[in-house]
Amino acid sequence: MKTIIVTGASGLVGSEAVHFFCLKGFRVIGIDNNLRKQFFGEEASTAWNSRRLSALYPDNYIYIEADIRNREAMERIFDTYSTAIELIIHAAAQPSHDWAAQDPRLDFSINATGTLELLEHTRKYCPKAVFIFCSTNKVYGDAPNRLPLVEKALRWEIEAGHAYEKGIDENLTIDQSMHSIFGASKVAADLLVQEYGRYFGLYTASFRGGCLTGPKHSGAQLHGFLSYLMKCTMTEIPYTVFGYQGKQVRDNIHSQDLINAFYAFYRNPRKGEVYNIGGSRFSNCSMLEAIAICESITGKKLQWTYQEQHRKGDHIWWISDIRKFQGHYPNWQLQFSIEDILQQIQEENQERWVPEKTQVSV
């Protein structure tokens, strides 16, 4: 039976992958250990998603609670399914650049060492499998902040006519910039994934995502921009905007669009590839614009305050140039706009989210 392994299977991207491939009849091995709860608290727990997936797909979904850093545990999984494994989607991570500074050793061990363990077991047990890594645009550090930006009424924008007007491509340097501790650990993993493609000849790709989002995101104070913003608007939790007058811009890609990109790569893989992947010019917003959309959808006023100090290494403006990936896979197209995404987050979380009175910051 065609088998895939999904790490971080109960998270946003992982659960979307489980859903997608189970419906296509694959046997899906989901690996997770709910470290997100340890990182961000009970509100970020993915246990609800684990239960949901196991109930939805009892015939072809196998959930394994394990840590990707545990060599013996990974050995057992890869040895059991061996050459039946056709695809590894590696979505497990410590995902917050703020949290990483609290415990750099733990952050690096999960993001870098955990990735190395998975690559080694892929090379040993299923070298013909496709290995897809969820990287991040934080590998570029704050280099994008050196671009010529223009302040508009509600957002920062790149200077008209600039080479990156359609978005930032894969040629932006990753050197001589502040990455955050999280960014550095993801750089290490990203380069390993590339090297296992180039040096060992594995089918690998690093997808450098911006903001990955969707209704199954367990958004929390330190991670999950759109999900948590909508949650705060719906439940009247106070929200803090950090720096750049709230005009910082992000592109946002729905997890379903991302998994469709993974599927395109799986069907026609390449070795040691790198792709910037995100909402591009199709799906992006500033913080102020996102707040206005959330308020329009919910009919509620978000209680938010502004703090002048921005986060270290944070991007002022990021829009992905996805033309390289589209050139390789022209049948893939984005489907979900910012408005679509926020509407779906609101509709699908009405029953799960309840009013809370905790002060939070995003």
Measured distance CA(220)–CA(236) in Å, rounded: 15
Q: Which amino acid would we find at residue 144?
A: P
Query: CA 207: distance to chain centroid?
Result: 9
CA distance readout (Å), 170 to 128, 273, 310: 26, 10, 25
Query: CA 320: distance to chain centroid?
Result: 14
> Which pLDDT band, with edges at 50, 70 and 90, does 362 fall under?
very low
Residue identified by tokens 């209680």 is: 303
> Which pLDDT band, with edges at 50, 70 and 90, does 357 fall under?
very low
Work out the angle between the directed axes of helices 338-348 and 225-235 (0-180°, nearest 10). 50
> Which of the pair, 282 or 310, is modelled with greater confidence?
282
Q: State mean pLDDT over 172-200.
A: 96
Q: What is the pLDDT of residue 354?
A: 63
- Encode pLDDT of 290-306 as tens digits: 999 999 999 999 999 99
DSSP 302: -
Residue among 133, 131, 343, 341 nearest 256 (CA): 341
- Encode pLDDT of 257-292 as tens digits: 999 999 999 999 999 999 999 999 999 999 999 999
Report phi then psi at 142, rounded to 5. -95, 20
Residue identified by tokens 């590696």 is: 90
- Encode pLDDT of 38-95 as tens digits: 888 887 788 989 999 999 999 999 999 999 999 999 999 999 999 999 999 999 999 8
Most distant CA pair in the chain: distance in Å?
A: 57
> Which pLDDT band, with edges at 50, 70 and 90, does 222 fall under?
low
- For 220-247, b/e burial (b = at least 16 CB within 10 A) is bbbbbbbbbbbbbbbbebebebbbbbbb
List, as one string, the DSSP characters of 299-346. Answer: S----EEEESPPPTT--SEE-B--HHHHHH-TT------HHHHHHHHH
**Token couple for 362:** 């995003």
Task: Report pTM.
Answer: 0.94
Q: Of the ranges 194-203, 312-321, 347-356, which one carries the lowest mean pLDDT score? A: 347-356
Residue among 116, 117, 115, 112 nearest 100 (CA): 112
**Token couple for 128:** 């013909």
Q: What is the pLDDT of residue 358?
A: 44
> Which pLDDT band, with edges at 50, 70 and 90, does 221 fall under?
low
Measured distance CA(140)–CA(298) in Å, rounded: 35
